Amino acid sequence: MTEIAEKRSLKEGTIFTHLTYYVAQGALKASDIIGQDKVEVIAKCIKDNNNFSSLTELKHQLSNEISYNDIRLVVAEMRDKNT
């Protein structure tokens, strides 16, 4: 991700924003970006906290190896499947 951002003179967060858009559209899978293991852990946390009010609430329940961007990708994918 860092390499792509540098080559395109963008911030890593911008790249994740673009990827999240395509995940939400169903054009990409979150697992293609962050791996199936992370997706499963995050998805379980989301299901266990169905009425979460913020990403921070979820982040506090997940390991430090999982980033806010990882959570955003899975949330986007799960919303796409629910629409």
Q: Quickly tell me which residue has 């979820």 as its tokens.
A: 58
Q: Which of 56, 82, 52 is nearest to 67 (CA)?
A: 56
What pLDDT is stored for residue 74 in this prediction? 96
Q: How many domains does the chain have?
A: 1
Which pLDDT tens digit goes with each residue over 8-44? Answer: 777 888 888 999 999 999 999 999 999 999 999 999 9
Mean pLDDT of the chain: 89
For residues 15 and 65, give the distance between their C-alpha atoms in angstroms, rounded to a whole number.
Answer: 19
Q: Which of 7, 33, 31 is nearest to 18 (CA)?
A: 33
Parent domain of 36:
2-82
Question: Do the beta carbons of residue 23 and residue 30 sit within 8 Å?
Answer: yes
User: pLDDT at residue 83 above 60?
Assistant: no
